[in-house]
Amino acid sequence: MPVTPLHIGIPGLISYHNPKGVDIAAAIIGSVIIDTDFFLFLLFGTPVHGYLHSFLFATLVAIVLAGILYLLDPSMIRLKEWFCWETENSIKSLLTGAFIGAYSHIILDMLLYKEMNLLFPLNGNPFYVPGAALPVFITVYAVGGVSTIAFLTLYAKKYAAEKESNVLQ
Ligand SMILES: [Zn+2]
C-alpha cells in the first residue's frame, strides 16, 4: 500500500493478542521495512515494489531484522518497558514477529501491484487479478485501515491502563 503505516495493523493485532509469542517491535518494524524498496527506487532506480517485495528477500529481511533486534536485547527491553509492552525477546518470538510483519506486508501488496516479482527470481505476480483492481484496492485498504485503527485503539487503552496502575503503585 502506498500508505506504509497501514501495514502495522494486522501484525500489530496478532502481537497484541500474543505478546510473548510474537514480538511487537519485530512485527511492526518488519511490516514497514519492506517499503525500503521506495528508497532504493529513489537512490538506484530499482522498481518501487522491487526486490524486498518478494518472498525470498522478505525472508532474508525478517531473519536479519530478528538477528539485529536480538543483539540489541538490553535496549529493546528498555524500549518495550517504556512502551508498556510485555516481552520475551527470545529469538523465536523475534523471528515469528519479523516474519508475520514482512509476509503480511507482501501478502497485502501482492493483491495490488502487478509489477511485483513475488516469487523472485521468477518474474511476475500470479496473485494480481487484472480487471479486479478497484474492489481489491478498496478491500485491501479497508483491511489495512480497520486493523490499524483497531490495533492503535487497543494499544492506547492498554498503555493508559498500565501507566495508571504504575502511578497507583
Ligand atoms: Zn509495500
76-87 pLDDT per residue, tens: 788 888 888 877
Q: How many angstroms does the Cα of residue 112 sit away from the middle of ligand 1?
A: 10
For residue 74, whether the previous peptide bond is cis, meaning omega lies within 30 degrees of 0, is: no
Q: Which three cell numbers stand for residue 21?
A: 509469542
Q: How many angstroms does the Cα of residue 150 sit away from the middle of ligand 1?
A: 21
pLDDT of residue 2: 66
Average pLDDT (92-117) is 95
What phi and psi values does residue 19 have, to the nearest 5 degrees? -65, -30
Q: How many angstroms does the Cα of residue 21 sit away from the middle of ligand 1?
A: 25
Average pLDDT (21-50) is 92
Q: How many angstroms does the Cα of residue 33 sit away from the middle of ligand 1?
A: 9
Q: What is the largest CA-CA distance in the chain?
A: 59
pLDDT of residue 73: 82
Q: How many angstroms does the Cα of residue 160 sit away from the middle of ligand 1?
A: 31
Q: Average model confidence (pLDDT) for the chain?
A: 90
Query: Is the confidence at residue 130, as pLDDT, over 70?
Result: yes
Whole-number percent of the chain with pLDDT over 70: 98
Q: How many angstroms does the Cα of residue 9 sit away from the middle of ligand 1?
A: 14
Query: Is the confidence at residue 169, as pLDDT, over 90?
Result: no
**pLDDT tens, position by position, 56-66:** 999 999 999 99
- Contact status, residue 56 vs residue 120, Cβ threshold 8 Å: yes
Average pLDDT (46-75) is 93
The span from the CA of 111 to the CA of 89, in Å, is: 32
Q: Which of 115, 6, 90, 103 lies closest to 57, judged by CA?
A: 103
Q: Has this prediction a pTM greater than 0.75?
A: yes
Average pLDDT (32-55) is 91
Q: How many angstroms does the Cα of residue 44 sit away from the middle of ligand 1?
A: 17
Per-residue burial over 99-113, b = 16 or more CB atoms within 10 Å of its CB, e = otherwise: bbbbbbbbebbbbbb
Q: How many angstroms does the Cα of residue 32 sit away from the middle of ligand 1?
A: 8
